[in-house]
């Protein structure tokens, strides 16, 4: 998240790289203009060999777009002592009216913007955070499969006019309910399909549980991740799942430079379009990882039930907005406030301590459901379902 200082005048050659899985479109540019523009196989060794042969003794900087090819090229270039800027595609300046797009032109554009100092690098995570990111993404994949299987089972029962086994709220997918589904009386084809869906559901649930255990094991073995996870998890409403996903996306906490940066990175900062005396602010920017933002908002629902201070803050924000949208705006504000607590515990390397305040009444159903809402809002516990 921390932007590295890049001064174009300190370099002689600027290399723009448009990378795909098979090739790299390369453009080398000096302060005077384009030197070379060509394509080569996607191998860092080939690029470094060309640089050593043609630009020996020159100071070279590189830039390429963040994408599916990952950080391997960045690692090789920086290991050889060449600065490399990895740019988010949405942050690359675009020329209005340009109707031609090729790999060669994209590499030239990167080289020009790098020479002009117009590119800002994303934070490249170190190896432990990359590995943790793989695990958290895998866990979310299995959880998504679990949700999909549950919906397919309910949809099939609705289509066939079969009643889903009744169960108390929060235990609709208990072992007892699944056992009733396995014994449900239905036609042969429906029985076969239902059994296969139940098997897939149990398989995905098992895989998700194993992945959670692996995340916990991985974090406990890392001397940097283990205390960070414990510190973030000490904040009311935040557990190991949210904490591990947060650290996987943010990376090294030492790269966070100010308290506002974390909220902006997650996409909880307000939009703004102001000019002159007119000030216009809208909803949140929704940039960054949407899954992390969703988890943090769900954690906020749990936090206002555990922390009296956040509960009173939630009520104060609700009072400033119309009833039909007060709950949604207030819970996002609570999530934004959680980012300030996360910043504090990570920078100070200490657990969070809940402050005692005057008695705060528990939340009522009317306070948490916007007026006119017919669908049930997800409960905090469902973040792990």
For 7, phi then psi, to 5°, come to -110, 105
pLDDT at residue 374 is higher than 70 = no
Buried b (16+ CB within 10 A) or exposed e, 358-372: eeeeeeeeebbebee
- Lowest average pLDDT, out of 50-64, 230-244, 249-263, 350-364, goes to 350-364
Structure-token match 């235990």, residue found = 171
Determine the average pLDDT of the residues in 298-323.
Answer: 92
Burial of 107 (0-12, 13-18, 19+ CB in 10 A): buried
pLDDT at residue 204 is higher than 90 = yes
How many residues comprise the chain?
Answer: 385
Strand 34-41 to 23-29 pairing: antiparallel
Q: Following DSSP, what letter does each residue of 219-240 receive, concatenated?
A: HHH-TTHHHHHHHHHTSTT--H
Radius of gyration of the CA atoms of the chain, in A: 26
Tokens of 326: 């007060």
- Predicted confidence (pLDDT) per residue in 67-92, tens digit: 999 999 999 999 999 999 999 998 89
Domain residue spans in the chain? Answer: 8-115, 126-222, 224-385
Tokens of 290: 């949407």
What whole-number distance in Å separates Cα of residue 76 and Cα of residue 44? 7
Does 366 or 152 have the greater pLDDT score? 152
pLDDT for res 370: 61
For 16, phi then psi, to 5°, come to -95, 130
pLDDT for res 324: 87
What whole-number distance in Å separates Cα of residue 215 and Cα of residue 140? 12
What whole-number distance in Å separates Cα of residue 112 and Cα of residue 132? 35
What whole-number distance in Å separates Cα of residue 11 and Cα of residue 58? 8
- Closest-CA residue to 12 (of 75, 56, 53, 46): 56
What whole-number distance in Å separates Cα of residue 331 and Cα of residue 283? 13
Determine the average pLDDT of the residues in 242-261.
Answer: 91
pLDDT for res 2: 47
DSSP secondary-structure letter at 97?
T
Strand 84-87 to 60-65 pairing: parallel
The CATH code that applies to domain 8-115 is: 3.30.420.10
Categorize the per-residue pLDDT at 192 as very low, low, confident or very high, splitting at 50, 70 and 90: very high
Does 369 or 127 have the greater pLDDT score? 127
> What's the pTM value of the predicted model, to 2 decimals?
0.86
pLDDT at residue 152 is higher than 70 = yes
Categorize the per-residue pLDDT at 281 as very low, low, confident or very high, splitting at 50, 70 and 90: confident
């Amino acid at each position: 998240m921390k932007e590295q200082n890049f001064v174009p005048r300190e370099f002689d050659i600027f290399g723009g790289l448009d990378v795909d899985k098979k090739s790299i479109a390369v453009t080398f540019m000096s302060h005077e203009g384009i030197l070379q523009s060509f394509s080569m196989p996607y191998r860092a060794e080939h690029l470094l060999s060309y640089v050593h042969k043609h630009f020996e003794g020159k100071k070279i900087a590189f830039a390429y777009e963040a994408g599916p090819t990952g950080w391997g090229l960045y690692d090789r270039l920086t290991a050889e002592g060449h600065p490399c800027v990895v740019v988010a595609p949405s942050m690359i300046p675009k020329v209005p009216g340009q109707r031609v797009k090729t790999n060669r032109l994209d590499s030239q554009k990167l080289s020009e913007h790098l020479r002009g100092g117009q590119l800002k690098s994303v934070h490249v995570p170190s190896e432990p955070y990359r590995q943790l990111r793989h695990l958290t993404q895998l866990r979310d994949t299995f959880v998504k499969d679990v949700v999909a299987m549950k919906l397919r089972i309910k949809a099939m029962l609705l289509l066939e006019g079969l009643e889903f086994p009744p169960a108390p709220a929060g235990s609709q997918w208990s072992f007892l309910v699944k056992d009733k589904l396995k014994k449900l009386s239905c036609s042969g084809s429906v029985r076969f399909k239902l059994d296969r869906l139940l098997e897939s559901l149990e398989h995905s649930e098992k895989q998700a549980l194993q992945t959670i255990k692996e995340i916990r094991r991985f974090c406990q073995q890392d001397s940097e991740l283990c205390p960070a996870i414990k510190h973030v998890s000490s904040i009311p409403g935040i557990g190991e799942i949210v904490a591990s996903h947060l650290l996987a996306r943010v990376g090294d906490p030492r790269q966070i430079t100010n308290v506002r940066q974390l909220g902006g990175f997650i996409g909880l900062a307000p939009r703004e379009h102001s000019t002159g005396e007119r000030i216009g602010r809208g909803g949140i920017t929704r940039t960054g990882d949407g899954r992390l933002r969703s988890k943090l908002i769900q954690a906020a629902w749990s936090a206002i039930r555990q922390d009296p201070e956040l509960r009173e803050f939630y009520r104060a924000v609700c009072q400033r907005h119309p009833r039909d949208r007060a709950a949604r705006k207030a819970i996002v504000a609570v999530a934004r406030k959680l980012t300030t607590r996360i910043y504090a515990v990570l920078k100070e390397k200490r657990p969070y301590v809940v402050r005692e305040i005057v008695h705060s009444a528990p939340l009522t159903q009317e306070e948490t459901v916007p007026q006119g809402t017919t669908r049930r809002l997800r409960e905090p516990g469902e973040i792990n379902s």
